[in-house]
Copies of this chain bind each other. A is one copy, B any other.
């Protein structure tokens, strides 16, 4: 049924936006039903596991979306991993600006909040981050960078991206993303130059 999927998706979409911006504890289920226009009963019909299940699906959904975005940018760069990195950071900066410094990483806000307080959600976030790291590592390896080096480069790149998101949202300024992007492009260039 079309409306069935619609309601469930509207709940997920609204939750994703609210949690990405305000965190897990900061997002109330009342807010979710109001923002999504869905009836309260539907929330527990589609997500019998309650708020935690809802958050889990939001995290996985955001993870898949971001992964797909990365793969798309990587495909477009067509093997040029330096261009890929530059394009990825530039796109991130653009998104942050366009959304008035509200939308950055889909899971980081929740990830930090639940890391010490909710083991289920922490491990979900860990899986998502790992899927991103695996994707980036694969692209770097395909460009000829040795496996270990590619992994370190991916860790560094994702760290720089996540941290720049924190600074950008807080300072309302994308210069951290610009600086981090330039530095990561150079690190990638160096890794390419070092390859055998």
A66 to chain B, nearest CB (A): 14
Which of B117, B164, B171 lies in contact with A26, CB distance below 8 A? B117
* Cα-based distance from A183 to B183 in the complex (angstroms): 9
How many whole Å from A42's CB to the nearest CB in chain B? 25
Whether B163 lies near A175 (C-beta < 8 A) is no
Partner of A166, one of B21, B162, B183: B162
Determine if A72 is an interface residue (Cβ-Cβ < 8 Å). no
In residues 78-132 of chain A, which contact B (Cβ within 8 Å)? Answer: 101-102, 108-109, 111-113, 115-117, 122, 125-126, 129-130
Chain A at the B interface: SS class? helix
Q: Which of A130, A180, A190 has the most CB of B within 10 A?
A: A180
Number of copies: 2
Bound CA span A164–B156, Å: 8
The one of B25, B112, B129 that contacts A112, using a Cβ cutoff of 8 Å: B112
How many angstroms from the CA of A165 to the CA of B163 in the assembled complex?
8
The B-contacting residues of A in range 159-182, CB under 8 angstroms, are 159-167, 169-172, 175-177, 179-180, 182
- B-facing residues in A1-53 (Cβ within 8 Å): 21-26
Residues of A within 8 A of B (CB): 21-26, 101-102, 108-109, 111-113, 115-117, 122, 125-126, 129-130, 152-153, 155-156, 158-167, 169-172, 175-177, 179-180, 182-183, 186-187, 190
Residues on the B chain within 8 Å of A112, using CB? 23, 108-109, 112, 166, 169-170
